[in-house]
Structure 1
Amino acid sequence: MTAVSAERVRTQIDGLASAGLDWPTFGAAAIETLRKALPFSAACLATVDPATELVTATVKWGDVDDEHDLQWSYHEYEVDDVYDFRAVSRRPGAVATLAAETGGDPTRSRRFAEMFSPIWDYSDELRAGLAADGATWGGIALFHQGGRTFTLAEQEFVSSVAPGFARGLRSGLVVGAVDLAAAGEAGCPAVLVVGADDEVVQANVGAEARIADLGGGPLGDSPLPQVVCAIVGAARRRASDPTAAVPRARLRSRTGRWLVAHASPLLSRDGSGTDVVVTLEDARPPEVIPLIVASYGLTGRERDVVALVLAGVDTADVAARLHLSAYTVQDHLKKIFAKVGVRSRRELIAQIYNDHYAPHLVEGGALAPSGWFAS
């Protein structure tokens, strides 16, 4: 630990978390702030879907790069190792180090032997799950080189700042509006087939635009976005292990669209096969509105009130359904308005639906039989 006090860094990270920054801007600033108290060689901050805890996007610092995302996903989701992010997030303190987990022999970890050591010469990794109000919103991995390992004090410090990181990731998901001009180009669902060699075997006409909206390049010439790598690995693992992570994740694209990514293995007639079909499409309101509501940091009771308000229930009926007084409902609404940054029910509904219906209405989209907008 450096001369900068741990308490000062915690305060600065908490300040960044409440500054209204989009999550990549928050992540980059928070990592730089963390280094004031805890030097490290490299870092990777990831967002996850709280429902499945699959990685949806990353901010990286140092020499860790995007070129090895497929290897990351392989070691995270497809093979067994001494720990993974989902396991770390569930333990007390939600923190672990490679040195401690392997008893000082990191070669016991395939991730270390096949990736950390030969590619980057990392000597230790510190992982922490980032949870707020009972939900995991991301994870952070820090790395040492040159034989250095993370101390117990450093683990405890990272555990103490993790809630601030989680709140910053959570609130950053709902910052910014949809870029209609750019988002219109990526409006069609994308379907890709990823082969056993992790190359795209087939793709529909909408795939290139969707991949670009997630920060990827031309198919076949650039690495696939992190979320695609993650759900492909999760789909392969789940084919043989029903308890593995569900290969599905909700995320926000670079143009501000909310998307759902899901994957499934393709099997031949004899039941074998390693190809995976990936679908990326606009999220429907029932899929993503609970995530948006949770992103504002509402309590359980406040979420109950919002759910009824979004359904058009008036204050008296909200009180009756939740067995509360009308005054208590009004008090909850005041707190909800303050957290969301609105002044009325009308503004609340508009704020939550704006990322979904409003952009399509501006574009003049027609409703399909499903109740969602036709392409």
Structure 2
Amino acid sequence: MTAVSAERVRTQIDGLAAAGLDWPTFGAAAIETLRKALPFSAACLATVDPATELVTATVKWGDVDDEHDLEWSYYEYEVEDVYDFREVSRRPGAVAALGAETGGDPTRSRRYAEMFAPVWDYSDELRAGLSADGATWGGLALFHQGGRTFTLAEQEFVTSVSAGFARGLRTGLVVGAADLAVLGDGSGPAVIVVGADDEVVSANVGAQERVTDLGGGPLGDAPLPQVVCAIVGAARRRAADPGAPMPRARLRSRSGRWVVAHASPMVGRGGTVADVVVTLEDARPPEVIPLVVASYGLTDRERDVVGLVLAGVDTADVAARLHLSAYTVQDHLKKIFAKVGVRSRRELIARIYNDHYVPHLVEGGALAPSGWFAGASGR
């Protein structure tokens, strides 16, 4: 890795992050770009819900595959190990290399000894938390084979590009509007029961549509979507440890719909966790609008202004409530418009609501007491 190529790669990743790509396209391009300065055998780039830091979806490169997602989630959420993504994200530099963490003995990690080495013959793993503006938007795992390990210089380089990766994932979440034709008008929540053996025990009518829209295959015959694997593991962990991550995550499906995935463990006799009930449903506005706003990379004060604008508060009242001058509010609005890519308050409201919520009105859905559209979600 040379200083020239490293700087060029950082610039290219920052350029990809600002290119307005959807997150899978950005992720695939950013991984290929990273390899120009830092060779590796395989990679996995994950998006997370910033509120719970649970993995919601992945882009993979090399021989790491989808077949082991449930196993991966088991070691990430249910097993105590040397580190996990949440812990790494809180470190200075937000990076960790397994070989360095274990003093050259990676077999101290169950994840390595029971999965990485026997399944893929990896010799080292480097993990990085991907954060921007105080929120974690994803995680990156890189792998070496053939006895190679990640150097301190390589760890520092990944730290230097992590913010670019985070911005690209964050921006990619809000690219494009939902394709409402993918799911039927009456599609309600999907309910999937996953047994202790990780097999699908049962599912309600319509669950297959939801799973397909999240990138999964036929239920019972193909790997479950990454987010389902993650919240199943998180639910089992939380049953034993109330301080573990909430088994809940927000994400965008392949059709562009915002979905909330959550899980609840069914406790059997003796307090053992038997089945886990997973629910996948359309996100309600209070759940998704804050995430959409955060995805545009606004400052705390800019988010305050947007919140009042979305509530219909005029500029004078925004200024009074935030103890600012009207000129300062207008200055904030100009910066907000530039970041969101609009030219007026009306366009700002349309961009946030029309792309992520209001399209259901076009279909004639009735607004239910829950705050969602009864025709679109079955509630």
- Unaligned runs of 5+ residues in structure 1 are none
Structure 2 distance, partners of 1:311, 1:3, is 49
Structure 2 distance, partners of 1:40, 1:209, is 36
- Deviation track 1:349-369 (CA, whole Å, cap 9, x = no partner) reads 011012333221111111222
* Alignment coverage as a number of residue pairs: 375
- Deviation track 1:91-131 (CA, whole Å, cap 9, x = no partner) reads 00000001011110011000011000000000000000000
- 1:178-193 to structure 2, matched below 5 A, reads 178-184=178-184, 187-193=187-193
Residue identity in the other structure for 1:22: D
Distance verdict in 2 for CA 1:3–1:325, change over 3 Å: closer
1:139 and 2:139 are equivalent in the alignment:
yes
Contact 1:186/1:206, CA 8 A, preserved across alignment: no
Residue identity in the other structure for 1:286: P
Task: Report the secondary structure of 2:337's partner residue.
Answer: helix
1:129 and 2:129 are equivalent in the alignment:
yes
Task: Report the secondary structure of 1:140's partner residue.
Answer: strand
User: Residue 38 of structure 1 corresponds to which residue in structure 2?
Assistant: 38
Structure 2 distance, partners of 1:144, 1:217, is 30
- 1:6-155 to structure 2, matched below 5 A, reads 6-155=6-155
Structure 1 distance, partners of 2:7, 2:264, is 45
Residue identity in the other structure for 1:21: L
Q: Give the superposed CA RMSD.
A: 1.2
1:200 and 2:181 are equivalent in the alignment:
no
Structure 1 distance, partners of 2:353, 2:111, is 42
- 1:229-268 to structure 2, matched below 5 A, reads 229-268=229-268
- Unaligned runs of 5+ residues in structure 2 are none
Deviation at 1:286, TM superposition (A): 0.4
Identity of aligned residues (%): 87
Contact 2:49/2:250, CA 8 A, preserved across alignment: yes
Structure 1 distance, partners of 2:122, 2:232, is 26
Task: Report the secondary structure of 2:15's partner residue.
Answer: helix
Deviation at 1:12, TM superposition (A): 0.3
Deviation at 1:4, TM superposition (A): 5.3
Distance verdict in 2 for CA 1:125–1:287, change over 3 Å: same
- Deviation track 1:1-35 (CA, whole Å, cap 9, x = no partner) reads 25852111000000000000000000000000000
Task: Report the secondary structure of 1:355's partner residue.
Answer: helix
Residue identity in the other structure for 2:262: H
Contact 2:236/2:265, CA 8 A, preserved across alignment: yes
Contact 1:187/1:282, CA 8 A, preserved across alignment: no
Contact 2:176/2:355, CA 8 A, preserved across alignment: no
Residue identity in the other structure for 1:359: P
Structure 1 distance, partners of 2:80, 2:357, is 42
Structure 2 distance, partners of 1:91, 1:270, is 38
Residue identity in the other structure for 1:26: F
Task: Report the secondary structure of 2:212's partner residue.
Answer: helix
Distance verdict in 2 for CA 1:152–1:312, change over 3 Å: same
Distance verdict in 2 for CA 1:224–1:334, change over 3 Å: same
Structure 1 distance, partners of 2:99, 2:232, is 29
Contact 1:258/1:355, CA 8 A, preserved across alignment: no
Residue identity in the other structure for 1:323: H
Contact 2:214/2:254, CA 8 A, preserved across alignment: yes
Task: Report the secondary structure of 2:215's partner residue.
Answer: coil
Residue identity in the other structure for 2:284: R
User: Residue 355 of structure 1 corresponds to which residue in structure 2?
Assistant: 355
Structure 1 distance, partners of 2:15, 2:323, is 36
User: Residue 299 of structure 1 corresponds to which residue in structure 2?
Assistant: 299
- Deviation track 1:125-171 (CA, whole Å, cap 9, x = no partner) reads 00000000000000000000000000000000000000000000000
Residue identity in the other structure for 2:296: Y
Structure 1 distance, partners of 2:148, 2:68, is 23
User: Residue 220 of structure 2 corresponds to which residue in structure 1?
Assistant: 220
